[in-house]
Structure 1
Amino acid sequence: MNRSRNGARSAPAAGSGGHHHLLGQPHDPDEEGPIADAEAVAGVIRTPQAPLGPLGRRFDWHSAFFIGASAAAGVALTVGAIEVLMLAAQTLLLISLGLFLAIGLEPAASWLINHRFPRWAAVLTVLGGLLLMTAAFIAAAIPALVDQGGRVITALPQYLGQFSDSSTTIGQLNERFHIQQTVQQVLEGGGPGLASGVITVGEAIFGAFSSALVVMVLTAYFLADLPRVRATVYRFVPAPRRPRAVLLGDQIMVKVGGYVLGNVVISVIAAVVTFVWLMAFGIPYPLLLAILFALLDLVPVIGSLVAGALVALAAFTVSVPVGIATIAYFVAYKLVEDYVLTPRVFGTVLRLPALVTVCAILIGGALLGLVGALIALPTAAAIMLLVQEVLFPRLDRADSGSGRAGSVRPQ
């Protein structure tokens, strides 16, 4: 900063020195005092390569003040983080599911990109395929639901008449469990409770639909911008450890993608085989049940059991022998899927022992429900990869080092 003959500081020209010409005008160095000196130094350290100046000297984090402040801030930060996680648990779960699906679809998008597709075209192609499958399921479900609803309305007077006929199965159940009386009491005396129950069911359906829509939108955004997300995540790793982190992280993402695509392949095979079986025995709504079987089969263990039960119930509407044969088909198909298809599809991707697979699904389902069961296997595969590549080698080196240090020459 320049000084005049009488010792007073002269104001720097607009845009010069460390004072920005768009802030704090009129600029009077005499009133700013020490700040004016700092501005003069700021003008000196500013360079074209570092327009905001170089990094300053690091703080002494070993001082008593910083140690106490760090401890207090650590406690406050931990408590605050726990409260934020509890409040935003549902939203974070949706974001995690969207990222998981995007990583799972990335191999398909990258395959298209490697075959000279622009990334935007590859992402649109993959998402378009998902939308087409969803539209096919809805198109198959709506006529079936409308048809079944019409049949129930048409047959309702007959069902009501059977309640008072003790020779029918419905009449015998009514005499034993008083079904008609219970339903009448609910309809007459449970007005507010019934209305609140209907509202609760409506809210649950709307919440599930909105959550699915949010996950679809997040998946599209993550998939479109996944290269940048991947690079940003790796920037948080220190530079000396970054190459190793890239190798491990990419391998984990490949496992997730292989799991998702492999699961889709197995579900498509299940849908085709189930559709052929349903058509061969004249079971109603074969396309709807086949698509529903494929969707539920995406969830390990639990989903296939529920899907098999629904298909068997539909088969019993044709005849009892067809229902029994369908149960036998389901058992045979599960054996083929578990011991032939799954090892071939997932064997080279996840490399999980059978015990780890079952435990991972049980723990994931207990912690996060359906979503936890869905992401349990790739999460377990990622943990096993980190354990084998990071934890075990460190423990082995530590053990060999302590053995050398504490070895005693035998007498």
Structure 2
Amino acid sequence: MNEDTDRGRTEDRHTPDGAEHGHTDLVAQPHTPDEGGPIISAEAAAARASTTQNPLGKPGRRFDPRSPFMVGMAGAAGVAVTYGAIQAVIAASQVLVLIVVALFLAIGLEPVVSWLVRPWFPRWAAVAAVFVIAIGLLAGFLAVAIPPLVTQGSALVHNAPDYVDHLAQRYPLINTLNTHFHLQDRARQGLGSDPSKLAGGVLGAGRLVFSIVSGTVIVAVLTGYFMANFVQVRASIYRLFPRSRRPRAILIGDEIFVKVGGYILGNLAISVITAVLTFIWLLTFDVPYALLLAVLVGVLDLIPIVGSTLAGTIVALVALTVSLPVSVATIIFFIVLRLLEDYLLVPRIIGRTVRVPPVVTVVAVLLGGALLGIVGALLAIPVAAAVLLIISETVLPSLDER
């Protein structure tokens, strides 16, 4: 009897879960009474608590979530997580901006991709066709435009002090400004030939070019991935909503995609038209650096409200080197062009896809520019349109029912 009992205890002692002894041979060997009475008594209690239904014992009483300790811990954890998330966003802000730009470009090109998809023309082929055509057009434009742009840009930088002197001699007002503010001296200092400044300028330009090229490549690659997997991305976003709210989320979300896509494509088309008209105007009146200024107008016109005004001011100042009547005529041309854009091009190209009140447009552009610079100003209007749609479809109806 004693041998059977001892054999059973020996077998139980070697049982990994320690169901009868509260201690397993796989942990803390050798197991001796020297560990202390409190531990041995706790192990005996653990052996009694271990049952077949609950090998590791029954769960104890739950912590009171409303206790001061738990409330304090939850508050401290929330603050720590929030602070860590903010620091992570700040550290990855540049990468996040590139991701957002690529996502917006993919949404903007999605209407074209969806229009091309047919039973005999799969999505991957449509994405490849749109991507290749877009890259080809951009590469062709850069190949044709970069040499004259570089030539005209270098000439403008080199001749800027002489232009200031020329304008000061012809126009008394500019001469007065030059006398008071030393515009010509400031231009020569800013564009001087000091070797140390020149080296620093070359290094800075090299860093800028590398940053632009690398950012462009990253955005192009991400845009291709988003375009190719947009169906899965869209489905993943809608899966985040509860099943009862998912149909409503799909209706609102698709409407947002349509607004963003229509605005991006329409804004690009309007900027191209504006640049072409400006180039024709400058060639007609022999304004120098016509291509450089036309490209500048097209880029600045992408920025709502302030872009076209700033572009018109720069072009009018350059046109002043030809004659005062040409400069005045250029100002009138940009005023007419702005009216043409606001009342003809925007309604017909963008239409009613994006309807944002003027006050909201101004505020959105200012906030977007302050937060993310030019990228924020470019994306401000579609983001504002999406926010207004969400508020009008979700927040306002619930407030009206209360």
Which TM-score bucket, shorter chain as reference?
0.7 to 0.9
- Cα distance in 2 for residues equivalent to 1:379 and 1:177: 43
1:124 matched to 2:109? The reply is no
- Answering whether residue 86 of structure 2 is matched by residue 101 of structure 1, we say no
TM-fit CA distance, 1:216: 2.0
Structure 2 residue aligned with 1:31: 16
Between stretches 234-243 and 371-380, larger displacement belongs to 234-243
**Partner residue in 2 for 1:274:** 278
The 3 A distance-change label for structure 1 pair 330 and 215 is same
Following superposition, the deviation at residue 276 of structure 1 comes to 3.5
Which amino acid in 2 is paired with 1:30? T
Is the contact made by 2:238 and 2:249 (CA closer than 8 Å) also made in structure 1? Answer: yes
Q: Letter of the 1:379 partner, please give it.
A: V
Q: 1:60 to 1:361 in 2, by over 3 A?
A: same
User: Where does residue 86 of structure 1 map in the other structure?
Assistant: 90
Per-residue CA distance 1:107-126 (angstroms, 9 max, x = gap):
11111115853222222222
Letter in 2 for 1:362: L
Aligned-residue RMSD, C-alpha: 4.4
1:366-396 deviation per Cα after TM superposition (whole angstroms, max 9, x unaligned): 2221111111111111111111111111111
Query: Cα offset for 1:197?
Result: 4.9
Could you give the per-residue CA deviations for residues 198-255 of structure 1, whole angstroms, max 9, x where no partner exists?
Answer: 4334323332332232222221211111111111111221222222111111111111
Contact 1:137–1:291 (8 Å) recurs in 2: no
Change beyond 3 A, Cα 1:133–1:313: farther
What's 1:323 paired with?
327
Query: What is the one-letter code of the residue matched to 1:323?
Result: S
Counterpart CA distance in 1 for 2:190 and 2:130 is 52
Q: Is the 8 A contact 1:101 1:219 kept in 2?
A: yes
- Correspondence 1:133 to 2:137: yes
Distance in 2 between residues matched to 1:377 and 1:184, nearest whole Å: 39
Q: Which residue number in structure 2 is paired with residue 300 of structure 1?
A: 304
CA contact (8 A) 1:174 1:180 kept: no
Greater displacement, 202-211 / 370-379: 202-211
Deviation by residue 1:167-224 (Cα, 9 ceiling, x = unmatched): 9999996999496799689979x76566445433432333233223222222121111
Q: Name the % identity.
A: 46
Mean Cα deviation higher: 294-303 or 248-257: 294-303
What is the aligned partner in structure 2 of residue 355 from structure 1? 359
How far is 1:260 from its partner? 0.7
Cα gap change, 1:216/1:306 in structure 2, threshold over 3 Å: closer, same or farther?
farther
Residues 142, 317 of structure 1: CA spacing in aligned structure 2 closer, same or farther, 3 A cutoff?
farther
Aligned residues: 357
Q: Give the TM-score normalised by the residue count of structure 1.
A: 0.71
Instruction: State the 1:62 CA deviation.
Output: 4.7
Structure 1: gaps (5+ residues): 1-5, 11-28, 42-58, 399-411
- 1:31 partner SS: coil
The 5 A counterparts of 1:14-93 are 30-33=15-18, 62=65, 64=67, 69-93=73-97
Contact map agreement 1:252 1:382 (CA 8 A) in 2: yes
Q: Is the 8 A contact 1:113 1:119 kept in 2?
A: yes
Change in 2 beyond 3 A, CA 1:153/1:322:
closer
Return the TM-score normalized by structure 2.
Answer: 0.72
Distance 1:315 1:178, change over 3 A: closer
Task: Give the distance between the partners of 2:191 and 2:320, measured in 1 at CA.
Answer: 31
In the other structure, the counterpart of 1:50 is: none
What is the correspondence of 1:113-192 to structure 2 with a 5 Å cutoff?
Answer: 113-114=117-118, 116-148=120-152, 177=182
Q: Distance in 2 between matches of 1:313 and 1:208?
A: 28
Q: Distance in 2 between matches of 1:72 and 1:153?
A: 56
Q: Tell me if structure 1 keeps the 8 A contact 2:113–2:123.
A: yes
Contact 1:140 1:287 in 2 (8 A): no
Structure 2 residue aligned with 1:394, among 379, 395, 398?
398
> Aligned partners of 1:183, 1:290: CA distance in 2, in Å?
26
Separation in structure 2 between the aligned mates of residue 349 and residue 395 of structure 1, nearest angstrom: 26
- Tell me if structure 2 keeps the 8 A contact 1:140–1:288: no
The one-letter amino acid of 1:213's match is: V
**Superposition pairs for residues 238-253 of structure 1, below 5 Å?**
238-253=242-257
* SS class of match (2:353): coil
What stretches of structure 2 of length at least 5 have no aligned partner? Answer: 1-6, 27-49, 54-61
Whole-Å separation in 1 of the counterparts to 2:239 and 2:232: 11
Alignment of 1:308-347 (within 5 A): 308-347=312-351
Structure 1's 317 and 240: CA in aligned 2 closer, same or farther, altered over 3 A? Answer: same
Three-state SS of the structure 1 residue aligned to 2:107 is helix
Q: 1:242 to 1:33 in 2, by over 3 A?
A: farther
How many angstroms apart in 1 are the aligned matches of 2:217 and 2:348?
A: 33
For residues 245 and 137 of structure 1, the distance between their equivalents in structure 2, rounded to whole angstroms, comes to 40
